[in-house]
Amino acid sequence: MQSERGRLARWFDARGWRDLIIGIPYAWLIAFFLLPFLIVIAMSFARRADLSPPIAFLGQWPFIQWENYARLFSDTIYIRAFFTSLLNAAVATFFCLLIGYPMALGITRVSKTWRSVLLMLVILPFWTSFLLRVYAWIGLLGSNSWFNQGLTTLVNAVLPADMAFRSLPMMNSNFAVVLVMVYSYLPFMILPLYANLEKLDQTLNEAATDLGSRPCQVFKDVTLPLSVPGIIAGGLLVFIPASGELIIPSLVGSASDPMIGRVISDEFSLARDWPMASAVAVALLMLLVLPIMAYSHFEKRAQEQAEAKA
């Protein structure tokens, strides 16, 4: 059993280059990712003070006091923000799936040339600026925009005349947050779904059809169960970043019912309560640990499968 993959790797090992190749990125990530994160954890046990930096550790080593964490439960703003974040993220994930699934399935059913064009069109918004895509929606949601006015006309056509809207109050609401999140994260749903659906064996569909299943039965009994891994991967890729989102709730969200990302940022920059911001951050990560672990589990399995094939 060779411990390394290939002679080249073994040569590097023998000459000590290996340690450098591993050590340099390792040291960098420890210094600039792990260490700062440990500071956040330590900070969550401190207390706000009028110093520079504005913190103080109380008591004796190891200075642990749970005051900030107790406030997470006593102050309703935090619980509410957590609830709003998870709800918004879940609703956005659901709608991403609802829109993304037929799109991914549709892309597998077109010719090869069209496939690469359509995939390009899915990836393109992902490369162009996230901030600018959110900005584009500010223009659409505002009360005087053609989009809002058009929707208002549609809604008013259904409603009785005395209930008619001047414009729809869409801006600065959780509706806007969910809508823009669906818009921004849709590629994250479509791509893993497409990768999964593309690999499905078409002959299974044909067999089911030949045996007399109707198209929607084929979908329910064959395609859908086989695409569960894609649904899980896509769902987690949308849900995880959406629940910690800061840009979207800051630009189109409601100030009275904020998401947790905004609470952390405000607590840190406006209230200058670094310990509290750190405690909220740690709590958010605790909430995300399960989905993150599920995600890395699925990633690892997919990678092992890819390696087994190679």
Partner 1 sequence: MNRRPMFLMSCLVFGFAFFYVPILSLIIFSFNKSRLVTVWGGFSTEWYGKLFNNAQVMKAAVLSLEIAVTSATFATILGTMAGLALARFRRFRGRTGLSGLVTAPLVMPEVITGISALMLFIFMAQWIGWPANRGFTTITIAHITFSMTYVAVVVQSRLSSMDLALEEAAMDLGARPWRVLVDVTLPVISPAILSGWLLAFTISLDDVVITSFTTGPGSTTLPILIWSKVRLGVTPDINALATLIITVVGLGVVAAAVIMHRAEKKRERDVQMALSQGSMT
Return the number of the residue (174 or 179) whose C-beta is nearest partner 1: 179
Instruction: Note whether 181 and 246 are within 8 A (CB).
Output: no
* Closest separation in Å from C-beta 187 to partner 1: 8
Partners of 56 in beta bridges: 47
CA proximity to 189, closest of 133, 250, 126: 126
Return the number of the residue (141 or 174) whose C-beta is nearest partner 1: 141
CA proximity to 93, closest of 301, 291, 298: 291
Residues ≥6 apart with Cβ < 8 Å to 15: none
* Closest separation in Å from C-beta 215 to partner 1: 5
Return the number of the residue (102 or 159) whose C-beta is nearest partner 1: 102
Return the number of the residue (161 or 270) whose C-beta is nearest partner 1: 270
* Closest separation in Å from C-beta 162 to partner 1: 27
Instruction: Note whether 186 and 104 are within 8 A (CB).
Output: no
* Closest separation in Å from C-beta 265 to partner 1: 5
Return the number of the residue (114 or 159) whose C-beta is nearest partner 1: 114
Return the number of the residue (159 or 289) whose C-beta is nearest partner 1: 289
* Closest separation in Å from C-beta 30 to partner 1: 7
CA proximity to 245, closest of 59, 55, 89: 89
Per DSSP, the three-state class of 204 is helix
Return the number of the residue (163 or 243) whose C-beta is nearest partner 1: 243
Distance between CA atoms of 88 and 92, rounded to whole angstroms? 6
Query: What number of other Cβ atoms are within 10 A of residue 293's Cβ?
Result: 10
Query: Which tokens hold the place of 247?
Result: 């840009």
* Closest separation in Å from C-beta 157 to partner 1: 21
CA proximity to 174, closest of 240, 262, 238: 262
Give all strands (DSSP E) within 53-156, no chain letters. 55-56
Return the number of the residue (122 or 174) whose C-beta is nearest partner 1: 122
Residues ≥6 apart with Cβ < 8 Å to 84: 174, 257, 258, 259, 260
* Closest separation in Å from C-beta 167 to partner 1: 11
* Closest separation in Å from C-beta 137 to partner 1: 6
Give all strands (DSSP E) within the chain, no chain letters. 47-48, 55-56
